[in-house]
Amino acid sequence: MRASTVRRTVLTASAVALALAATACGGDDQDGESGGGKSKAGAADKPAAKALTTAELEKRIVATADLQDHTVQKPGKDDVFDPDSLTVDRAECDPVARVLSALPAGDPAASAQRLVVQESAAAKKGMPSTEELADMTEEEAKEATIDSLDITKTMTSLWSYDADGADRALGTLRTAGEKCAKGFAMTIDGEKQQVTKVAGEKLAAGEEAVAWTVGTKTDEEAVETKVVVFRTGSTLAGFSSFNIAAISRDEAYEQPTAVIDAQEAKLAR
């Protein structure tokens, strides 16, 4: 999902909070590999895996009915990036930049994608009213406004590959995460970003997985994104997730485990 959209949302929220307040107040494993990896012994005896079709992936990707307190929708054009708009200053970091930007890992034969949104109770209520803000201090008004933006957005992708393509793509991601742990520069859709870290996290999902917290910085703000990719057979499931309130407060937040678990369960059916 677009970093530019995140930036505009955060900056607008901060400006609105201050304006409303003024009015109301009157004046480790580095590679992040899970322990779920399975031995490849005997793989040569198995028939070559066949990629799922787009129609099959559409049936297997998470839907609103699979999750509590989440909404799932097809991403709009403002939610996705043009792959051709991505450049990196270090070629070995391109795989990380791609999945961070919710672009396919490697070259899948088919794909499907959804935007999953979870709102807190405060976010569902919306922005505080002028009357509510009138009884708050400037700091309270700012916090209440940010609370109303406690929304986690997770771009969820399924990518399917022929033969051992999924296994190779995940291996490439793991290696890229190790090599690029200290960061790199990238440009996406004309926006320059500095990736400040690719920090591995533990995750047990699918047959094997990589999970990172990826820090990025533009001229206007620092953002952390949770990035997860796990493999089930010939399919990779990718997740790129951020929380608007956490970005505003420069706080850490958890992996979107409910979304990951729901997607894992649906792929295993």
CATH classification at residue 46: 3.40.1000.70
Where does the pLDDT of residue 46 fall: very low under 50, low under 70, confident under 90, or very high at 90 and above?
low
**Residues 198, 96, 210, 54, CA torsion sign:** positive
Q: What does the pLDDT look like over 187-232, one tens digit per residue?
A: 999 999 999 999 999 999 999 999 999 999 988 788 999 999 999 9
Most confidently modeled of 105-114, 119-128, 216-225, 244-253?
Answer: 105-114
Where does the pLDDT of residue 251 fall: very low under 50, low under 70, confident under 90, or very high at 90 and above?
confident
**How many domains, in total, are found in the chain?**
1
Residue 75 resides in a domain: yes
Residue 78 resides in a domain: yes
Segments forming the whole domain that contains residue 109: 28-121+150-267
Residue 139 resides in a domain: no
Residue 20 resides in a domain: no
Residue 44 resides in a domain: yes
Where does the pLDDT of residue 131 fall: very low under 50, low under 70, confident under 90, or very high at 90 and above?
confident
| Reported pTM | 0.80
Report the candidate in 218, 247, 232 with the shortest Cα–Cα distance to residue 153: 247
CA distance 13 to 145: 7
Residue 111 resides in a domain: yes
Strand partners, 232: 235
